[in-house]
Structure 1
Amino acid sequence: MSQQVKVLTLKENLNAETSSEFQQDIAQIMESGAKIVLVDCQNITFLDSSGLGTLVLAFKTLRDADIKMVLCSINEQVRMIFELTSINEIFEIFPSQDDFNQVLMATN
C-alpha cells in the first residue's frame, strides 16, 4: 500500500466514550502527510449519534486539509444507520481493504 495511504482500523465501537481517541488518531494522520485515510470499520458493531458525528467531523476536517477519507468493511447494522441518515451518500465505502487496494492500484 502506498505511503500516501494511512489505514486507521477501529478496534471498538465508535461512540461518545471512544470518539476522542478517534479524533486524536485523525490529528496524527493529518501530520503524517497522508493523502488518503482508509477507516477500516470491521470491528464496529455499534455506532451512536456521537460516533456518527465524529466520522462526519473527521471527514470535513480531512477534506479541508485536502486529504480524502474513505471507509471499508462496514457491517449491515452500520450500513443501515448510514442509509437511514443518508451518510452513505457522503462517504465512499468499500467492501474490504482488498477492494480499496484494487481500486487504488487501478487508478495509479
Structure 2
Amino acid sequence: MNISQVVIDDTVVLRLTGKLDGSAVETLSNQVKEAIWSRHSAILINLQGVEFVDSTGLGLLVFLFRQAKEQNTDFAICGLSAQALMVFEITRMTRIFVVHPNESAALSVSA
C-alpha cells in the first residue's frame, strides 16, 4: 500500500494505491489520525489506485470514519472501481460512507 497526501482547500486527500488489507492498517491509520489532529475540515480517501480491498480494509475504513466523526471531521471516499463499489453496496457500506465517483466530484461538493 502506498499513500500520497495533498491538502486541497481544507480537505486532506489521501490517494491510495495497491491493496487495502491488513498490511495497510498502521500506515493508513497514522495518516488519517495526523489529518484529524491537524484540524482540517475533511478527509477524502481516494481509492482509484486500489486493486484489492479485503474485510480488514473495510473494517479499517469504518474505524477511521468513526474516529473522524468523533472529531467533527467530514470523511468521504472516492474512486471505487466497479467491483469495489459492488462490495460496498452489498455490505451496505454506501449507507455509512459518503461515496463520490471521483476526486473532482468529491472536492466540488466540499468547496
TM-score by length of 1: 0.90
Matched, 1:12 2:18: yes
- Three-state SS of the structure 2 residue aligned to 1:46 is strand
2:4 is matched with none
Of 28, 35, 42 in structure 2, the residue corresponding to residue 36 of structure 1 is: 42
2:51 is matched with 45
1:60-99 maps to which residues of 2 (within 5 A)? 60-99=66-105
- The one-letter amino acid paired with 2:49 is N
Q: Distance in 1 between matches of 2:57 and 2:103?
A: 21
TM-aligned CA deviation for residue 32 of structure 1: 1.4
TM-aligned CA deviation for residue 11 of structure 1: 2.2
- Three-state SS of the structure 1 residue aligned to 2:80 is coil
TM-aligned CA deviation for residue 71 of structure 1: 0.6
Task: Note the residue ranges of structure 2 that are not aligned, 5 or more in a row.
Answer: 1-7
Q: Contact (CA 8 Å) 1:46, 1:77: kept in 2 or not?
A: no
Q: How many residues align?
A: 104
Q: Distance in 2 between matches of 1:104 and 1:17?
A: 30
Q: Contact (CA 8 Å) 2:17, 2:51: kept in 1 or not?
A: no
2:31 is matched with 25
TM-aligned CA deviation for residue 102 of structure 1: 2.1
TM-score by length of 2: 0.88
RMSD: 1.0
- Three-state SS of the structure 1 residue aligned to 2:43 is strand
- Three-state SS of the structure 2 residue aligned to 1:34 is coil
Q: Distance in 2 between matches of 1:50 and 1:103?
A: 29
- Three-state SS of the structure 2 residue aligned to 1:83 is helix
Q: Give me the identity figure in percent.
A: 25
